[in-house]
Amino acid sequence: MQHKKDVKAQEMRQQKNFGNVMNLIFLLSLITLTSAISYSSPIQRTGSLRAKLLKNGKYPEFLAAQKKLRAATSQPFLDYSDDYYRVKIELGTPPQGFTVSLDTASSFLWVLDVNCKSKNCKGDPSLNNEKDTYNNSDSTTFQCGAGTFVAQFDGQPVTGYLAKETFTLANSLNIRNQDFGSAQTVPDLYLEQPVDGVLGFGLPAMAVNGTKTPLDTLMPLLDLKLFTVWMDKITPKSMAGNAGLITYGALDSVNCDSKINYVPLNVMGYWGFALDGFAIGTFTRQRKEQVISDTASGWIGAPPTVISAIVKATGAKYDWNLELYTVPCSQMTTQPDLIFTINGIDYPVKSVEYILDLGLDNKQCALTFFGMSSSSFGPAWVLGDTFIRSYCHVYDYGNMRIGLAKAHSSV
């Protein structure tokens, strides 16, 4: 009888242990599934700033401001402010919503403060771009930061106070105590853009005043320490609307080819790498040069020699009033490809990407290039949205590299 009791007790222990093992397996499976979840946010395209300014008769003011900027700054960029791809974020408790420029060439998050001091800082009524502002008195999670900040918006200063807040991306990625700036003075150029601030997804070397960058706080929350950017096309390009996706912690296997070519970063502080060469038509340039990937630059920045070669290959004419190179819009799909050679691989960009319809007179379209400084300081090229629309970018923070994959257009 005692033997039967011992056997029964052993069976009960085995069943209990089996149940515990199954519960453990279930929990481990749940953890694995949870850790593998990725987060995605739609990207909105604002359309062309130049097209808006031309339509509203404000383009001469814009050109005057750009000339003043070029004369006053030592930065090597002439202009890269024509287009913006935007994402939605939230700050505070309860959440305050903002639409911000996605910028891989800066490493700071800032939004407009409710008490901004610049003239018409809450938007230009004639451009129908009223802006959302941050009010710290409406948030229970606001914390004062370490004083004030000075950041840059297209080479011009943005100033305000530093703070910490609850920060939400993709409606579900919640980050506590995120450093950010609440901007109280902003340049006129910012007022013309339909954005409430900037989300800097650059590297820590470019942090402002020792703050923790958005990527510093975001990456530890993700299964894979990377984010993927797919920028979709909109036809005509001067229009605005949803135009792409940013995927946090995963590769975008729907909108991007599965074949990804990686190139190591080699520019301190930037998502920068080496360009082996460039070609268009009969022109070739075989020279290792530094480039940066910049989601906030609508156009491609190139050395003056390359700009001249592109003009020659396309037969473009310079419009002295608009300060743009133009070609007939009828040639939008027939001009030669741009060929970028990166890490030994050729990446062609079709003319439909680098020729932009701004609604100019005489059915003329603009070439989406700007000239870079010929000095030895800084990168020689900026690969903006004109390039990124053709190739998804995997910003691999964990391995300090960028992956390039052919983008799938919905148009």
Residue 250 has pLDDT above 60, yes or no: yes
Note the pLDDT of residue 375. 57
Query: 301-337 burial by CB neighbour count: b if 16+ within 10 A, else e?
Result: bbbeebbebbbebbebeeeeebebbbbebeebeebbb
For 164, list phi and psi in degrees, rounded to 5.
Answer: -125, 145
Answer with the residue of higher pLDDT: 124 or 348: 348
Domains and CATH numbers, the chain: 84-221 (2.40.70.10), 252-406 (2.40.70.10)
Structure token digits, residue 317: 């004419």
Q: 254 pLDDT exceeds 70?
A: yes
* E-state strands within 172-224: 173-185, 197-200
168 vs 91: CA distance, rounded Å: 6
**Who contacts 368 (Cβ-Cβ below 8 Å, separation ≥6)?**
82, 298, 299, 300, 353, 354, 355, 356, 386
Looking at residue 127, its pLDDT comes to: 65
Q: Given pLDDT bands bounded at 50, 70 and 90, which one contains residue 230?
A: very high
Residues pairing with 99 in the sheet: 88
Bridge-partner residues for 394, per DSSP? 228, 403
- Render pLDDT for 349-362 as a digit per residue (tens, 0 to 9): 999 999 988 888 89
> Region 376-383: what's the mean pLDDT?
82
- pLDDT for residue 24 is more than 60: no
What pLDDT was estimated at residue 258?
Answer: 96
Instruction: Look at residue 279 in the predicted model and tell me its pLDDT.
Output: 98
pLDDT at 232 over 60: yes
Average pLDDT over residues 141-148: 95
pLDDT of residue 6: 45
> CB count, 10 Å around CB of 82?
23
Q: Can you tell me which residue has the tokens 């850790």?
A: 35
When the pLDDT of each residue in the chain is averaged and rounded to a whole number, the result is 82
Question: What pLDDT score does 122 carry?
Answer: 84
Residues 58/322, Cβ–Cβ less than 8 Å: no
* pLDDT value at 341 more than 50: yes
Instruction: Summarize the confidence of residues 74-96 as an average pLDDT.
Output: 67
pLDDT confidence band for 259 (50 / 70 / 90): very high
As a whole number, mean pLDDT of residues 318-335 equals 92
CB 366 within 8 A of CB 297: no
Q: Which residue has the higher pLDDT, 10 or 148?
A: 148
Alpha-carbon span 6 to 16, nearest angstrom: 15
* pLDDT tens readout for residues 92-118: 999 999 999 999 999 999 999 999 998
Inform me whether the pLDDT recorded for 61 exceeds 70.
Answer: no
- Sorted by sequence, the CB contacts under 8 Å of residue 377 that are 6+ apart come out as 74, 76
Tell me the mean pLDDT in the region 263-271: 89
Q: pLDDT tens across 295-318, in order?
A: 988 899 999 999 999 999 999 999
What pTM, to 2 d.p., does this model score? 0.82
| C-alpha span between 411 and 393 (Å, rounded) | 19
b or e along 44-76 (b: 16 or more beta carbons within 10 Å of the residue's beta carbon)?
bbbbbbbbbbbeeebbeebbebbeebeeeeeeb
Residues with catalytic roles? 103, 294
Residue 241 pLDDT exceeds 60: no
Tell which wins on pLDDT, 184 or 120: 184
How far is it, in rounded angstroms, from Cα 187 to Cα 331?
A: 36
The per-residue pLDDT for 43 is: 78
The pair of structure tokens assigned to 3 is: 């033997």
